[in-house]
Amino acid sequence: MPELPEVETIVRELRKKLSGKKLLRLEIFDRRLRRLRLPLPLKISSVDRHGKYIVVHTKKGKLLLHLRMTGRLRFAKKVSRAPEEKHERARFYFGGGVILKFIDSRRFGTIEWFDFTRYKWKTEKLPELGLNPMKGEFNAGSLKDVLRLRSRAIRSLLLDQKIVAGLGTIYADEALWYAKIAPGRKSDSLTDAEVKRLVASIKRVLRLAIKKGGTTFRDYRKTGGDPGGYQFFRKVYGREGLPCFRCRGKIKRMKIGGRSAHFCPACQK
């Protein structure tokens, strides 16, 4: 599941390879993407991340990609005419013989084009996002403010992209473990000290995961096909029944808000 660190890793690779290049041609293999139309050719000015969205900037508009669950981007040198991999959904051809494949077995991934001439008066279509955890705007004060407005399980709030942009199941669980906060705690019950720990924990785990190139649990790969490395540093995600690295308690898995959360009941309070 690509979350902020995985998307950031991909964005950095795309930025390096695509900045200044021209997108010449687009091939669509999946009916779900058939409505996508681009004013080609398009010169790529830069590549950015917004939460879990990949944003490709051009003068004419923005291309928004979301990998959802199983989406992958893979650079290729030479390709045959038909889709080469089982789940190749689209293919981008750039100048200089650079080819980028969009592969997505579950088909939840999206590619959207926001044309500047049109989206100026249709801004409501752009995804609405909460605090950016990699920026200074994300601090104990700002997080406390949004957490106090609600009374839901903290785990559910952390997954809400309108509250904090970029966390998914893996890093929400990891951050709560570092902060020693139980995932089921009501958001408005957190003390100032706990919110402070949570902010530090989120920043810490995201930074480490970016440094490791993300978590490869199943589908995620970098654009060259290599796996990330954070899975070797995991504290709770996917460690059900194994001993807690902090207190030796047994890691538990529990449904919270319909999604399974991993945590240590002994040391997360």
Partner DNA sequence: CCCGGCGCCTGAGGGC
Partner DNA sequence: TGCCCTCAGGCGCCGG
Return the number of the residue (53 or 94) whose C-beta is nearest DNA. 53
> Which has the closest alpha carbon to 5: 207, 266, 238, 265?
207
Query: Any idea what the Cα angle at residue 91 is, between residues 90 and 96, rounded to 5°?
Result: 165
Burial of 135 (0-12, 13-18, 19+ CB in 10 A): exposed
Pick from 49, 74, 87, 144 the residue near DNA by CB under 7 A.
Answer: 87
Residues 6 or more apart in contact with residue 236 via CB below 8 angstroms: 173, 174, 177, 244, 251, 262, 263, 264
Examine residue 156 and tell whether it contacts DNA (CB under 7 A): yes
In the complex, what is the shortest distance from the CB of residue 87 to DNA, in angstroms, rounded to a whole number?
7
Bridge partners, 94 (sequence order): 23
Return the number of the residue (19 or 110) whose C-beta is nearest DNA. 110
Pick from 35, 59, 86, 269 the residue near DNA by CB under 7 A.
Answer: 86
Return the number of the residue (23 or 183) whose C-beta is nearest DNA. 183
Pick from 33, 159, 205, 264 the residue near DNA by CB under 7 A.
Answer: 159
Task: Answer for the pair 268, 181: CB distance below 8 angstroms, yes or no.
Answer: yes
Q: Please give the residue ranges that form the binding site for DNA (CB under 7 A).
A: 1, 3, 32, 51-52, 66, 68-69, 86-87, 105-108, 127, 149-153, 156, 159, 161, 168-170, 218, 253, 257-260
Q: What amino acid positions are annotated as catalytic residues?
A: 2-3, 52, 259
